[in-house]
Amino acid sequence: MLPEKLQECNLPEQPEGIILLFLDGVGLGLADPSRNPFARFANYFFHGHAGGSFRPPGILLETDAHMGVPGLPQSATGQTALFTGYNGPQILGRHITGFPSVSLRPYLYEKSVLKVLQEHGKPSTLLNSYSKVYLRRLERPRNERLMSASSLMQRATGQPFFTIEDYLAGRSLYMDLTNWFLRKNGYQIPLVSAKTNGRKLADLGKQYDFAVFEYFFTDKAGHAQSFAAAKRIIAHVDSFLEGLWENLDPTKQTVIVCTDHGNLEDLSTGTHTPNPVGTILYGKHADRFAGEIKALYDIPRAVYRVLGIPFDEGFVPKTELPAGSVSEEDELMNHTTEKALN
């Protein structure tokens, strides 16, 4: 029998278990129930988004979504910062909405956080599941123009996208949290509680050094200016976070809950808001991350530091644009405001 010390040395290295939960369009708002659904509807995790204190275990950080560029923070530039560590608005000199443009995509192709971690031997993935219809759509020429930042990030790793079949087999998650959207689109499957899927995220996260899960109905409810939709969405997300917190091992895992811009916290407007956003941290590296995160682009950089990976400050994109790519100006004119549904 091997000596105890030698046995310990031969144990496989455990994944770091960092989970990044991206909630689209959730800023820090006022304690005003006439505008802010987080102030109007009961919840546990979002008191800090309605002028109150953060109640659960963990830390709520005020985080800069403007990143030194005037104007309303937007999806394409904000998510590029979140998923690469490069200042998306500064790259373009403005904030742009919708999907990453021709000038942003090379950052996601070459330097997305998932790709960099994979290149350094750190198992990392996007846990969202996609329908076969959506995946077939991505195969069409030039359809990279209609891919979200998260989808581009996963494609850049060379890993396959998780499918609905993967979700049903327990290998991934679906973006509706409870199966309501799947059922609406013809899947004969039972509803599940968001809390159950939150617990599942904690379990899946243990298999990776870094895992990302994206939820965007928060942003859609904000653009719709619908308190009814907001009530349902907040209840789902609150329950999902409850399950995640309950099943997470804070001595071995870390969760980062982040966003790209404000929206849902102020339903008096159908646009994004100029508000700062909140980053929620809980678990093993929460205190360290709290000392390093000031703006959106700091989040992947903080992850790199924890995992001992240098950030390439001097990166210049080298990716050649696909034949037939349209100009930045043409793309901006044709940008959709919202992401296509999975």
Return the SS3 of 158. coil
Greatest extent of the chain over all pairs of C-alpha atoms, in Å: 69
Bridge-based pairing state of the strands 18-23 and 254-258: parallel
Considering the entire predicted model, what is its pTM?
0.90
Structural element, H or E, at residue 130? strand 129-130
Q: Which residues pair with 277 in a beta bridge?
A: 27, 63
Please count the CA atoms within 13 angstroms of the CA of 99 that sit on its side-chain side.
20
Per-residue pLDDT of the chain (342 residues; tens, 9 = 90+): 445 544 445 556 789 999 999 999 999 999 999 999 999 999 999 999 999 999 999 999 999 999 999 999 999 999 999 999 999 999 999 999 989 999 999 999 999 999 999 999 999 999 999 998 888 888 876 777 778 999 999 999 999 999 999 999 999 999 999 999 999 999 999 999 999 999 999 999 999 999 999 999 999 999 999 999 999 999 999 999 999 999 999 999 999 999 999 999 999 999 999 999 999 999 999 999 999 999 999 999 999 999 999 999 999 998 544 444 444 543 553 444 334 333
As a whole number of angstroms, the distance between CA 218 and CA 33 comes to 17
As a whole number of angstroms, the distance between CA 232 and CA 177 comes to 12
Please count the CA atoms within 13 angstroms of the CA of 112 that sit on its side-chain side.
29
Q: What is the CATH number of domain 25-311+327-334?
A: 3.40.720.10
Q: Phi/psi at 258 (nearest 5 deg)?
A: -135, 175
